[in-house]
Structure formats: C-alpha cells, structure tokens
Amino acid sequence: MSINILMPALSPTMEEGKLSKWLKNEGDSVRAGDVVAEIETDKATMEVEAADDGVLAKILIPAGTEHVAVNAPIAIMVEEGGSLDDISAAPSSSELTKNTHSEEISTPHSIEPDAAPSSTRHPIDAPEIPAGTTMISMTMREALRDAMAEEMRRDSDVFIMGEEVAEYQGAYKVTQGLLQEFGAKRVVDTPITEYGFTGIGIGAAFAGLRPIIEFMTFNFSMQAIDHIVNSAAKTLYMSGGQINCPIVFRGPNGAAARVGAQHSQDFAAWYAQIPGLIVIAPSNARDAKGLLKAAIRNDNPVVFLENEILYGKSADVPAIEDFVLPIGRAYIARAGEHVTLISFSIGVIYALAAAGELAKEGIEAEVIDLRTLRPMDLPTIIQSVKKTGRCVAIEEGWPQCGISAELAMCIQEEAFDYLDAPILRVTGKNVPMPYAANLEKLALPSIEEIIHSAKAVLYRD
Amino acid sequence: MAHNQISPTSAQMGLSRDEELFALREMLLIRRFEEKAGQLYGMGVIAGFCHLYIGQEAVVVGVKMAAKEGDQFTTSYRDHGHMLAMGMDAKGVMAELAGRRSGYSKGKGGSMHMFSREKNFYGGHGIVGAPAPIGAGVAFANAYRENSCVSIAFFGEGAANQGQVYESFNMAALWRLPIVFIIENNRYAMGTAISRATAQTQCHRRGEAFSIPAKQIDGMDIRVVKAAASEAIDWCRSGKGPYLLEILTYRYRGHSMSDPAKYRSKEEVDRMREEHDPIEQVRLRLLADGVSEEELKKIDASVRKIVAEAVEFATADKEPEVKELFTDVLM
C-alpha cells in the first residue's frame, strides 16, 4: 500500500510554493517525524515531515521546482518491504504543478488581480508616470516593504514598531530585511500589547517622531482603538492645532482565509467614520507603494488597511525614485458607461472580475477603486454615476453603517436626479465569519452577486 | 535599589529659603486658580467637567522643582495644576476653561484637553490611563534622539488599575525608557475608595513585577516630593530606565463639580486640611525661619492678582469664531 506525501500549506492563504530541497533519497527508510524535504514561499520556509514510517519510494517533484500547488502529491511512500509496483498509477510531475484548487469564478481567493485587461487601466494620478518609465513587477508585500525602506532612508525620524516586525522578519514578511538595514533602534519588536505600544507610538509622534505601527492584523487593533480614536485622531483638534500626530497604523485588514470570526473581519467602516483620521485601503502593489509613502510623509494619523490575500499578488510598479501617490484620490480601474461598480481593497478585485464577465454580455462596467476611504473622492464617484446612472457598491465589511451605505447616501445627496435605478450593495453578510469553507464563501461578497446586482440595476436578467 | 521606603532622610529633604518661597508661590497659584475656577463654574462661566487639584499641589510643584528644562509632563484630566506648574500662562488656561478663543486649545479642548509644545506639556487626557503609554512614547522619543530629557507621566491610583498602564510599565522597563511614572494616590477614584477597587493597595509594589524601582512617599510634604522626584528623575536621566513613584495625596474638593461627597466623611477632609495641608506646612516653616507674615501676604496678593487678571482676560475674551468648528481636524 502506498501513501502520497502532499505539498503542505504554510498559511491559510498559501496556494503554491517552491520545493527547495529533498533531504531523503528514493529508497531511504523514513520514520514518522523525519524531515524529508524543505519547501518555501515568499513568506517563509518550512520542513516537510513524514507522517508514517516507511520507504521513500518515489520523488514526484524534483528539488528546485517552483509553483507546486498546495496538496499536490510530491512523493510516494510505501510500507517497509513494499513494492514500487504499487505506485504505477502515480501522476506525472507536470500535471502536479498545476493548481489543483477548483477555479470556480466565485472562489474569491483564486482570482487574479489583473482580471481586467491592462489597456483599460489609464493612469489618472498625479504625479503622472512619465512615458518610458520602467515598470517593475512586484508583490504587494514587496511594494510595502520598499515603501517603508525608502522612507526610512529618507527620514531618520521614521521607525517601525510592532509584533514580530524585526527578528521574525514580519508575521506576513512585510518587514523582511528592515532589521538588517536599519537596526533594532528603528525596527522595534514589541510584546503582545497593542493598547500599550499604540499609545507609545502616539506619544512618540506627539514628540515629533514618525512611527509606523504594524498591527499583525487589524483584528488586534481593537485592543488599541481607544488610542487610535481618542489620542491619535483627536489631539490636533483638542490642542487647537498645536499637537499633530504623524503616525501610520498598518497591517492586514479584512477577511483572511479559514481563520474564523475573530481573525477575519473588515474594519474599514469603523475607522472611516472618525474625524482626524485618514484611511487608505489599496488594492494593488502600485497603489500600496505610492500611498504608503504618502501616508508616512503625511502629518496626520493614517490608518493603512492592507489585505493578507493580496500580499502575494503582483502588479507593475513604476521604478521612479520617489513614487508617491496623492491621498484622497480614487482611481478608475476600468472605464465603462453602463454601470458604476465602486469598491476598495480586495473588493476591487471582485469588481474587476465581475466587469470582465459583464463585458462578455455587452455590459461595460466602470470600476472605481476608492483607494482612500477618508477623505473620500466624491467628485470621481459622482462624475461616474452621473455618466452611468447606475451604481453597485461592493465591500467585504458588514452592510449596516458600512462604506456602501455611506456611498449610497452621498450619491443620492449629490446625484439623485441622475440615477436610473436604486443603488445596490454587495457586502459581507450580517454574521460573524464562519470557519467552514462553504459557509465562509457564502459570508463573503461573490462575483456572481456583483454580476447579479449590476444586471439588476440595469433591469436585465 | 531600595524599594518601599516611606520617605527620604531629612538630610536629603531640606529646601533652601528661596526654594520654599518658590514652592509656596507656585502652590498658592494653583490653589487660588482652582478656587476661582470653582467659583466660575458655579457662575456658569465654566461648564462640563471641571476637576480641581486643591490639596494635591505639592505633588506637581515638587516634581517640577526636581525636573530640568526640557523634561516633559503628561497627565490625565485633573490637569490645571500641572499646566500652571509647567509655566503655562494662567490666562490661556482660564480662557480655555471658559471655552474662549484665546484658550490654549482655542476653546476646543476644555478643562481636560490642553497642551503646550512650547512648555513641554503633552496633555491633558480624558482617558485616565492614557498618560502612561503616551508619556512612555515621549520617553521613547527622548531615547531615540538621545536628548537626555526625562518624561514624567502622572495618573491617579484609580487609573493605575488599567491594563495600558502595565503594558507601558513592561515596555518602559524592557527598553529602559527615561520615564518617571507617578501615581497620584488621592485615595478615591471618583467616589470609590482605593480599598474597594484595588486588591493590592500599596500601588508602588506594582513596580516590582517589572523590575522598576519604586517608592511610596508623602505627597503633602513638598520637601519629600522634591527629594524623591530628584532621585527618580536622576535615575532615569542616567539611562537606567523607568522609575515609579506612588505619591500619597488628598483632594479636598469633589471628584468633579457635581460630586455629592457621600463616600467620605467631612471629618476626614477637615483633618487632612488642618493637619496636612501642603501650603500651610511651607508657610509655617517660612515663618519659623524668620520670614515675615507681611512678606507671605505679599506673595498671596501677587498670586491673587495673576488669577484675577486671568479671570478678567477669560471672561472678556470672545468665544471661538464659528469657522473654527472645522479647523484643526487634519493638518
């Protein structure tokens, strides 16, 4: 009897990785717990242990193979004294490097960020990206790291503080290499005490430093929300303009994958309600870099909401010395004339995928990436809705008092007479995030729901 | 490091006559200011929350006398005394209490929320435990810049039960931040006596858990406060990390202006005022030292004049311009 050794996942969001090294050879005896191989992703390296005693009969994936799908068989073990004939039906390695995950369109975590053709992306941002600028493809994780490193080189008052940011190299590897370049004085590991270190960061900002506070995830920012709201956001006002708070609170926000209710939720609407805060939520590596640099330079407290599922997604980032994007400007991620889809962060990825499907049916959707949630770029939104007359707002957060609710109100205040249909929203469901895969999928907004809502506001079936 | 001493030795405690005169004047300024603030509250000039510092004056004045130029203070909402001790203008503080445009926060902060970057005063915080981490953050900046300044964070014994205080103790000790944490133990957290809210009422003992040296001292005797604060501040300035002082004090007035005072006896308050008043102690020592009653009256008169001018300034000042509603939200 043979047993397949499968490619393990290093994290709930890992889809593939590199099989870097085999530590056992074909024919070797293996005991349960023995390390047989090493795998790695851009986040981390992990050892693969044998789960049973036996003989490593056949290696299916050679060392050095990249893009090995999670759960793909990487080797076959047989019982001690067993025969290799038992494994004649083993699949070929070329089949195994394909993603074995289902590619249903409604699976949000397998959607590629560039679902829309790149020709529909037109840079409306300032500064203009000069013609002929070299573009470098990088992950959002790398873009965020580069943004911090560049700003830390530029300004010695910038430092980063948070759990596991230094020696561990970042729980999500966003701070990889920063300790080595900037040292422990400027890359500060903290105890697991968000309330305290957030207050310390704010005190340091009052005194003129420019801290970047990393929350391992924004779920834990709930421990610190008192200081974010009561100390960081209000002190400029309460001091009559004397004491500003140049600080960035950043980290992954929103649904991760299969981590349950306490580690999977979107706090965008919570922070976007607070006067005195700037709230940014980028959807791609380019905006992540340009906006994080802008956030670090800004003299106000900025809540910078990243997304774990997007960390590994790549986009073209201009290789410009100082690529800083303007805060408070939305981006038309896809131009269209029939219906406006508005979202932010990973919701933009869903919206672009939906727009791609709608286009097949002759519906041209305009997709607006808000990028900054506070202050919100209402002129761009209103201009688009006046053009299309129809709007669907999309967010992972809960519907009540959400970003979509705010968008709908603003649009009816500013463009009521231009609307040809009620505004619809596609949001996370009104429940804590469930763990089970099927329920989790249902709890999140889906591309089908966006397509359905877009057709509904167009009165098409 | 000796822990749990009740007070420094008398040799450490002595203040020069000039220091005693300075202490008297500073404490009197706070007391007269607060008395007047209480009156203005009754007249409706000051509204909302107004927490008076009367009785606790020796704490902040003694610590200030031990601090050096550049050292920063952060406190919670019973903050008028701290601002005056830091040299902030009585006119600006009173105008803020009255919600007028020339107040330190342009009338937008009120009694609990005032700041002065110029005078190194970092608030004025309405959340009682907030001075601990915010003060530690100011200390973090001092260490980062290696400027040899010491941050001093004041909070009450009630606030000392908040988790953020211990989170701050831990990080301050871990990173050897130059901060003196001062628990102003006035025995009552609003109306709750310390023994009804705090399992270990010896607050200074909480330093031990973080290896922070700590002392409990008599906060009604300014000589004791100044001596202990000097030792604590020197410790921090020399790079040894944080220090904790539990300063035993007493507030004569209610928690705020709307305090029913049902939780303690009038006799208890009277005994503190008559036997332990921090200002009277200095006054008696100065008289014994040969300073004339007349000279002391002059000091009181000069202080009353400052307060009267502050009241005149504040009540004559205008409310903020309407456009100020929308300024200072973002830079």
Residue A281 pLDDT grade (very low, low, confident, very high; cuts 50, 70, 90):
very high
pLDDT (tens digit, 9 = 90+) per residue, B144-189? Answer: 999 999 999 999 999 999 999 999 999 999 999 999 999 999 999 9
Q: Which of A109, A227, A263, A338 is catalytic?
A: A263
Q: Is A263 known to be catalytic?
A: yes
Choice among A33-47, A229-243, A360-374, B275-289 with the minimum mean pLDDT: A33-47
Provide the 3-class DSSP secondary structure of residue B87: coil
Q: Is the pLDDT of residue A8 over 50?
A: yes
A244 lies within 8 A of chain B by CB = yes
Residue A255 pLDDT grade (very low, low, confident, very high; cuts 50, 70, 90):
very high
Burial of B149 (0-12, 13-18, 19+ CB in 10 A): buried
Q: Tokens for A193?
A: 């005490």
**Long-range contacts of range A114-119, CB-CB < 8 Å, 24 or more positions apart?**
A114/A315, A115/A349, A115/A352, A115/A353, A115/A355, A115/A356, A116/A333, A116/A334, A116/A352, A116/A355, A116/A356, A116/A367
**Long-range contacts of range A432-438, CB-CB < 8 Å, 24 or more positions apart?**
A432/A261, A432/A265, A433/A255, A433/A259, A433/A260, A433/A261, A433/A264, A433/A265, A434/A260, A434/A261, A435/A258, A435/A259, A435/A260, A435/A261, A437/A258
**pLDDT at residue A128 in the model:** 55
Q: Is the pLDDT of residue B1 over 50?
A: no
Q: Which of B167, B169, B325 to mutate to test the interface with A (most CBs of A within 10 A)?
A: B167
Q: Is the pLDDT of residue B87 over 90?
A: yes
Among the partner-chain residues B151, B167, B328, the one whose CB lies closest to the CB of A196 is: B167
pLDDT (tens digit, 9 = 90+) per residue, B209-234? Answer: 999 999 999 999 999 999 999 999 99
Residue A85 pLDDT grade (very low, low, confident, very high; cuts 50, 70, 90):
low
Considering only CA atoms, which of A300, A199, A298, A296 is closest in space to residue A241?
A300
Residue A51 pLDDT grade (very low, low, confident, very high; cuts 50, 70, 90):
confident
* Ranges of each domain in chain B: 10-316
pLDDT (tens digit, 9 = 90+) per residue, A118-136? Answer: 333 344 444 557 788 899 9
In chain A, the residue whose alpha carbon lies closest to the alpha carbon of B164 is A196
Q: Is the pLDDT of residue B142 over 60?
A: yes
**pLDDT at residue A129 in the model:** 74
Q: Which of A194, A366, A395, A449 is catalytic?
A: A194
Residue A114 pLDDT grade (very low, low, confident, very high; cuts 50, 70, 90):
very low
**pLDDT at residue A14 in the model:** 74
**pLDDT at residue A12 in the model:** 66
The architecture (CATH level 2) of B10-316 comes to 3-Layer(aba) Sandwich (3.40)
Phi, psi (deg, nearest 5) at residue B182: -120, 115
Asked whether B243 and B285 are in contact (CB, 8 A), the reply is: no
Q: Is the pLDDT of residue A95 over 60?
A: no
**pLDDT at residue A98 in the model:** 42
CA distance A340 to A351: 10
% of chain A surpassing 70 pLDDT: 89
Q: Is the pLDDT of residue A216 over 70?
A: yes
Choice among A77-91, A300-314, B84-98 with the minimum mean pLDDT: A77-91
pLDDT (tens digit, 9 = 90+) per residue, B116-126? Answer: 999 999 999 99
Q: Tokens for B107?
A: 């009338």
Q: Give the containing element (helix H, strand E) for B72.
A: strand B72-75
* Ranges of each domain in chain A: 2-84, 108-115+329-457, 135-318
Residue spans of beta strands (DSSP E) within B127-248: 151-156, 179-185, 188-189, 192-193, 214-218, 243-248
**pLDDT at residue A263 in the model:** 94
**pLDDT at residue A100 in the model:** 38
Region B11-27: what's the mean pLDDT? 89
Handedness of CA A46, A52, A53, A57 (dihedral sign): negative
pLDDT (tens digit, 9 = 90+) per residue, B313-324? Answer: 999 999 999 999
Peptide bond just before A199 cis, omega within 30 deg: no
The architecture (CATH level 2) of A108-115+329-457 comes to 3-Layer(aba) Sandwich (3.40)
Burial of A181 (0-12, 13-18, 19+ CB in 10 A): exposed
Q: Tokens for A299?
A: 């003299």
Length of chain A: 461
Region A347-367: what's the mean pLDDT? 98
Asked whether B169 and B181 are in contact (CB, 8 A), the reply is: yes
Q: Which of B83, B102, B146, B164 to mutate to test the interface with A (most CBs of A within 10 A)?
A: B164
Choice among A62-71, A425-434, B92-101 with the minimum mean pLDDT: A62-71
In chain A, the residue whose alpha carbon lies closest to the alpha carbon of B113 is A238
Region A353-364: what's the mean pLDDT? 98
A301 lies within 8 A of chain B by CB = no
The architecture (CATH level 2) of A135-318 comes to 3-Layer(aba) Sandwich (3.40)
Comparison of pLDDT for B39 and A94, the residue scoring more: B39
User: To the nearest whole number, what is the mean pLDDT of chain B?
Assistant: 95
Q: Are A108-115+329-457 and A135-318 in the same CATH fold? A: yes
Region A177-184: what's the mean pLDDT? 98
**What is the interface size between A and B, counted as CB pairs within 8 Å?**
148
% of chain A surpassing 90 pLDDT: 72
**pLDDT at residue A432 in the model:** 97
CATH number of A2-84: 2.40.50.100
Beta-bridge mates of residue A367: A334, A341
Region A109-126: what's the mean pLDDT? 40
CA dihedral B203, B208, B213, B218 (to 10 degrees): 20
